[in-house]
Amino acid sequence: MRALVKNGIGIFTPQGFLDGNNNASFLSIEDIDATAKLNVDMILVSLKKVIFFNRNGLDTFVKMFIKVRASKHITIGFCDYDSKKFTAISKFYKNDINFSLFASQDIAELFSSNYKNQNKNILLYNEDKSQRSAMAIELHDKGHNPIIAQTEEEFKEKSSNANAYDVIIQDSYLGQMGQSIATRVTGNAIIYTVSSFLDAEIGNTFNIAYHNNSLNVGFRLFIFDTYKVISMNVHALNFFSKLSSSGAEYNATICFVGMTFEKTPLSFKETLEDAGIMFFNQMDDILQDKELLEELGASSAAAIANKRVLNKVMVTELPNFIQATVSTIEMMTNSKAAKDTVKINEIKIEAKGDKIASSIGFYGDMDGMVILVFPKEIAKKACELLIGEKTDDMELILDTLAELVNIVGGKIKTLLSDQKISVDITLPRTYPNVDALLEIAEKRKGVQVDLSFDNDKFLFFLTR
Amino acid sequence: MITKDIIDSYIEKIPPSPKALKETLMLLNAGELTKASKVAQTDLALSSYLKNLVNKPIYGFKNEVTETSQIFGILGVSGSQQAVYNYMVSLLSPSKWELFKLNATSFHELQAKLSNRWKDILEHLEIKDKDIESAITLLPASIIVSEALFCEKLEDINLLRSVNQIDLNTVLQRLCGVDLFDICEQISQKWDMPSQVAEIIQAASGVKPAKDETTDLLGKWMHLLLFYELSQPMFIEAELNDFIDFQVEYVGEIYDDFSQVMEIG
């Protein structure tokens, strides 16, 4: 079974009945491993579509979960259940629950490192006092405002005024939380989460190839969530100084949020500041300050470090790139595409108005970036299949467009692997207008393919 | 990806029911078991299918049953009609399954399990109606239609489902405005199956409740029965578990009864 990965959470959704006979058929350790590799910080099994389960049905999952958590340091557990199912699970495992339980996916998201839904007023209740505290601490750490009900009566009274809270949490349980270096994208900022002791090991655990390719794709703001960092030593200091200097040629900014210097020499802060790293107390100080976010996250054409030229391998594989793109858009819109022109030049976009764009980078045996420029109408049409209805909500369209470009990236990856070329893909980046795209792409040379879908023009650009 | 034209051409290609089958069904309808079995015997593929079907362990016969007349005698009028319809649906199945990891044996197994358990359910509901009993035979057609329409789009479907939890029925509905169960209905019309069969199947999709109370109730039982079978290891491994969306809320009210009939502990 495959997991759906969204906002850093991998979710498996079995349907029907779950018992000791069939649970191993639903999920294998390989399925979980493959999901863990996708940079998730939670893996959950949704019980939303399960009408019957027993302890044997959950046990095999739990055993696999614990194995994966030990090696990958991610949060594992179940989600999407009602009170009846929660009571059943609690009864099965009594005082031996070593996984997490989130009543819904939305509640799970509050505990993940995804900052999109930050700053929520949350009412929470759990019979167990230490659970209540643990949840409140985690939620506070993630930038929310938790309000704890100390008794069931208090909870009932407070929750009757549902409008007072953005989210109400009950029937949830925090097992051991994961602590990996997770990567999230909020707007166009990439957030890395680091914790405990930062030492020479950071050089191994930090995915430098991913970071470099994110720079190449045009991400400029990198935020390290350091709320849970206890201390940093000189090796980590050197690592971050170097990381910041190497990003400087792209005009990239690195920020540390929530770092305390109680157990780390204060002089380290000065050294990091000299290297260009900025410090903030709260994640909100950046993410809620739209002006600052835009300023730090904006692309800078002047600072594109190395304008690399297309190479032979890329040109040879061009048909694969085009096929992946065209077939995806055809699949999503159910319309036929025609190739108009193919040129090697700097990107040229006619009629810039009412267009949105997206890009995705790839790296490995070959590296580069695919840029897609859509008229808004095509983008809307292409996203309808995923959204399920017509919408004018620009934020939703851009988010869905990112999913669509992810499909294109996945397809490119598959097609290239058929040619024995192994690549990984970055997260997709979206641009609400052409100007935002041109800031990173204007001076780049690449292959431009103009395509038309029915009568709409669509642009594909492959560059390095 | 899949257009209305592709669906229309698929339905166009479905052959009408063969003459021998039509006659068999007609005679069964008239209660002429012996005559029906004689006509059925002339279709060698049908007799071989019937033989394989009733000798599956789920039917629980100690000795091998070989004669068509014997089979019809054991199954009775409604059971025989159901078996003939099952055979007709199996004629649509591909020689090689690609989207789902099925084969002729496992598909027939699914048909047999559904049919047998449907019989238990109708007994529990105290419904004696051969058309309602036969309705279950059309349900696996939704699986065959999915295979036929999506088998060449396997990669696209996998990529689509890697970013969005979307079942094949919804994909088809959003792309073409018709879903798997509408196509099943068209197949049933082509084969002159009683209209109630299609009505129950539409309700069994879980997303189109029927106006008629009894039909809707039968749709609920059939939807839950489908997922009971699709939760068996054999069919999970065949990747059938999520080909359509399980509507837990739709079947909530009948679950306790269902678990009694199926003896779920």
Q: What ipTM is given for this predicted complex?
A: 0.88
With beta carbons less than 8 A apart as the criterion, state whether A360 and A370 touch.
yes
With beta carbons less than 8 A apart as the criterion, state whether A259 and A279 touch.
yes
Closest-CA distance, B212 to chain A, in angstroms, reads 25
pLDDT at A186 over 50: yes
- Indicate yes or no: pTM above 0.80: no
Question: Do the chains contact at B230 and A24, CB–CB below 8 Å?
Answer: no
Strand order in the sheet with A42-46: A4-6, A9-12, A42-46, A75-79, A100-102
Question: Do the chains contact at B255 and A406, CB–CB below 8 Å?
Answer: no
Mean of the per-residue pLDDT values for chain B? 91
| A406 near B CB under 8 A | yes
In A, which residues are within 8 Å of B174 by CB distance? 384-385, 388
pLDDT band at A108 (very low <50, low <70, confident <90, very high): very high
pLDDT at A377 over 70: yes
Question: Do the chains contact at B1 and A49, CB–CB below 8 Å?
Answer: no
pLDDT at A180 over 80: no
Question: Do the chains contact at A16 and B242, CB–CB below 8 Å?
Answer: no
In B, which residues are within 8 Å of A17 by CB distance? 227-228, 231, 264
Q: Where are the domains of chain A?
A: 4-169, 183-303, 312-463
With beta carbons less than 8 A apart as the criterion, state whether A178 and A74 touch.
yes
Question: Do the chains contact at A328 and B156, CB–CB below 8 Å?
Answer: yes
Q: What is the pLDDT of residues A88-103, one digit of tens each?
A: 999 998 877 889 999 9
| B248 near A CB under 8 A | yes
Name the fold adopted by A183-303. Answer: Transcription Regulator spoIIAA (3.30.750)
With beta carbons less than 8 A apart as the criterion, state whether B47 and B40 touch.
yes
Q: What is the DSSP string of A378-408?
A: HHHHHHHHHHSS----HHHHHHHHHHHHHHH
Give the orientation angle of helix B154-163 with respect to helix A312-333, to 10 degrees. 80
Q: Where are the domains of chain B?
A: 4-17+95-261
Residue of B nearest to A7 (CA): B163
How many C-beta neighbours within 10 Å does residue A180 have? Answer: 18
Sign of CA dihedral A158, A107, A70, A227: negative
| B158 near A CB under 8 A | yes
Most confident of A3-17, A193-207, A405-419: A3-17
| Stretch B194-202: mean pLDDT | 93
pLDDT band at A282 (very low <50, low <70, confident <90, very high): confident
CATH of A4-169, one of 3.40.50.300, 3.90.1300.10, 3.40.50.12280, 3.30.750.24: 3.30.750.24
Assigned token pair, B211: 């106006």
Sign of CA dihedral A149, A151, A152, A157: negative
Question: Which string of b and e fits A219-252 if b means at least 16 CB within 10 Å?
Answer: bbbbbbbbbebebbeeebbebbbebbeebeebbb
What is the C-alpha to C-alpha distance for residues A168 and A149, in angstroms, rounded to an integer? Answer: 11
Q: What is the pLDDT of residues A294-314, one digit of tens each?
A: 777 665 444 444 556 677 777
CATH architecture of the domain A312-463 equals 3-Layer(aba) Sandwich (3.40)
A430 φ, ψ (degrees, to nearest 5): -115, 155
How many residues in chain B? 265
In B, which residues are within 8 Å of A34 by CB distance? none
Q: What percent of chain A has pLDDT over 70?
A: 93
Give the orientation angle of helix B195-204 with respect to helix B213-230, to 10 degrees. 60
pLDDT at A115 over 70: no
Name the fold adopted by B4-17+95-261. Answer: Hypothetical protein af1432 (1.10.3210)
Q: For testing the chain B interface, which of A48, A51, A85 should be mutated: the one with the most B CBs within 10 Å?
A: A51
With beta carbons less than 8 A apart as the criterion, state whether B200 and B218 touch.
yes
**Given B3, B163, B228, which is nearest A403 (Cβ)?**
B163
What is the C-alpha to C-alpha distance for residues B137 and B149, in angstroms, rounded to an integer? Answer: 20
Closest-CA distance, B240 to chain A, in angstroms, reads 10
Closest-CA distance, A6 to chain B, in angstroms, reads 8
| Stretch B167-181: mean pLDDT | 90
| B160 near A CB under 8 A | yes
Least confident of A289-298, A322-331, A380-389, A428-437: A289-298
Q: What is the pLDDT of residues B38-72, one digit of tens each?
A: 999 999 999 999 998 888 888 888 888 889 999 99
With beta carbons less than 8 A apart as the criterion, state whether B184 and B145 touch.
yes
Residue of B nearest to A35 (CA): B162
Question: Which string of b and e fits B144-170 if b means at least 16 CB within 10 Å?
Answer: bbbbbbbeebeebbebbbbbbbbbbbb
Q: What pLDDT does residue A303 have?
A: 42
| B173 near A CB under 8 A | no
What is the C-alpha to C-alpha distance for residues B138 and B115, in angstroms, rounded to an integer? Answer: 10
| B222 near A CB under 8 A | no
pLDDT at B220 over 50: yes
| B174 near A CB under 8 A | yes
Q: For testing the chain B interface, which of A84, A331, A333 should be mutated: the one with the most B CBs within 10 Å?
A: A331
What is the C-alpha to C-alpha distance for residues A91 and B253, in angstroms, rounded to an integer? Answer: 24
Residue of B nearest to A26 (CA): B236
What is the C-alpha to C-alpha distance for residues A337 and A329, in angstroms, rounded to an integer? Answer: 8
Choose between A113 and A241: higher pLDDT. Answer: A241
Contacts of B6 (CB under 8 A, 6+ apart): B149
Contacts of B26 (CB under 8 A, 6+ apart): none
With beta carbons less than 8 A apart as the criterion, state whether B221 and B197 touch.
no
| B1 near A CB under 8 A | yes
Q: Which of B73, B77, B87 is nearest to B45 (CA)?
A: B87
Q: What is the pLDDT of residues B97-136, one digit of tens each?
A: 999 999 999 999 999 999 999 999 999 999 999 889 999 9
Closest-CA distance, A83 to chain B, in angstroms, reads 15
Mean of the per-residue pLDDT values for chain A? 84
Q: How far is CA B97 from CA B106, B146, B152, in A?
A: 11, 11, 11
| A15 near B CB under 8 A | yes
Question: Which string of b and e fits A58-86 if b means at least 16 CB within 10 Å?
Answer: bebbbebbeebbeebbbbbbbbbbeeebb
What is the C-alpha to C-alpha distance for residues A410 and A215, in angstroms, rounded to an integer? Answer: 20
Q: What pLDDT does residue A380 have?
A: 84
Q: What pLDDT does residue A308 have?
A: 61
What is the C-alpha to C-alpha distance for residues A333 and A347, in angstroms, rounded to an integer? Answer: 25
Asked whether the domain spanning A183-303 has the same topology as the one spanning A4-169, the reply is yes
Assigned token pair, B117: 């358990």
What is the C-alpha to C-alpha distance for residues A42 and A182, in angstroms, rounded to an integer? Answer: 10
Question: Do the chains contact at B264 and A17, CB–CB below 8 Å?
Answer: yes
Q: Which of A296, A100, A114, A282 is nearest to A193 (CA)?
A: A114
Q: What is the pLDDT of residues A388-429, one digit of tens each?
A: 878 888 888 888 888 888 888 888 888 888 888 888 887 788
| A21 near B CB under 8 A | yes
Q: What is the DSSP string of A166-196?
A: SEEE-S-B--PPP----EEEETTEEEEEEEE
Least confident of A57-61, A132-136, B63-67: A132-136
Q: What is the pLDDT of residues A137-171, one digit of tens each?
A: 778 777 788 898 888 999 999 988 878 899 999 99
Q: What is the pLDDT of residues A229-248, one digit of tens each?
A: 888 999 999 999 999 988 88
| Stretch A369-373: mean pLDDT | 90
Closest-CA distance, A5 to chain B, in angstroms, reads 7
Q: What pLDDT does residue A304 have?
A: 47
In B, which residues are within 8 Å of A328 by CB distance? 156, 159
pLDDT at A78 over 60: yes
